[in-house]
Structure 1
Amino acid sequence: MKEIDNFYQQQNEPIKSCLLPLREIILSQDADITNVLKYGMPFFCYKGKMFCYLWIHKKHKLSYIGIVEGKRFDDPFLIQENRSRMKIMLLDPNEDLPLQTIKNILQKTINLYKTGEIKING
């Protein structure tokens, strides 16, 4: 089993049942997205450049999508907290995922890379 797959399998329910579909949602947004383990957490890269990650909020005990370049756009579903660059979207693992909202935020983020606002190596 790959180390990244092991990360997902080690999570407790209901977090595990939230993170696994999130992984599939993110990966389905573009063929150039890959899932890697960095800093002990699942990161998603667009053409090798980190663009989002999944994690569990320690205080709220909720899963979340972290948007690496979140500071570059405003969205009511993204919160900054004490981060200077990243914003997060908190997701309650006991509720249905807001699929369209997630897809919209991911597409906005991918478009930053596609339009050249964020330089991609190579």
Structure 2
Amino acid sequence: MLNPLDHYFEQKDEPVKSCLQYLRSLLMGYDDITEHWKYGMPFYYHKRKMFCYLWIHKKLHHPYIGLVDGHKIEHEDLLQEKRARMKIFLINHLEDIPKKKIECILNLAFDLRK
């Protein structure tokens, strides 16, 4: 029996599934990042504080990384939409994943924690 986190990733269809699994492994490669099941989604904590989450955009059907304190980050590829505190980085699962851009955005988010 799969835990809720593994079940979330396993039940997705390709290529979204592979994209989310890649993002999961990328996030888990950072020091002090832990993965939790919170609010019915995979949530990632940095030093025991909420940091980001993975989800699928309801209208566009693209996976994204939601940054908890995204409203404090200025980056042209982050979208606020109707969120007060969060910003998201949409990922087109039909194209190559922009690893360098993701790492840049995550580093901006880590810098807020210092």
Gaps of 5+ in 1: 116-122
Query: Which residue does the alignment assign to 1:95?
Result: 95
Query: Which residue does the alignment assign to 2:9?
Result: 8
2: CA distance, partners of 1:97 / 1:36? 23
Q: Per-residue deviation at 1:2?
A: 2.4
Of structures 1 and 2, the one with the larger relative CO (CA 8 A, separation 6+) is 1
Amino acid aligned to 1:49: K
Identity %: 46
Q: Per-residue deviation at 1:78?
A: 0.2
Query: Which residue does the alignment assign to 1:109?
Result: 109
In the superposition, the TM-score normalised over structure 1's length comes to: 0.89
| 1:25-44 correspondence runs (5 A) | 25-28=26-29, 30-44=30-44
The aligned length equals 113
Say yes or no: does 1:83 pair with 2:83. Answer: yes
In the superposition, the TM-score normalised over structure 2's length comes to: 0.95
Please give the root-mean-square deviation of Cα atoms over the aligned residues, in Å: 0.9
Gaps of 5+ in 2: none
Amino acid aligned to 1:82: K
Amino acid aligned to 1:89: F
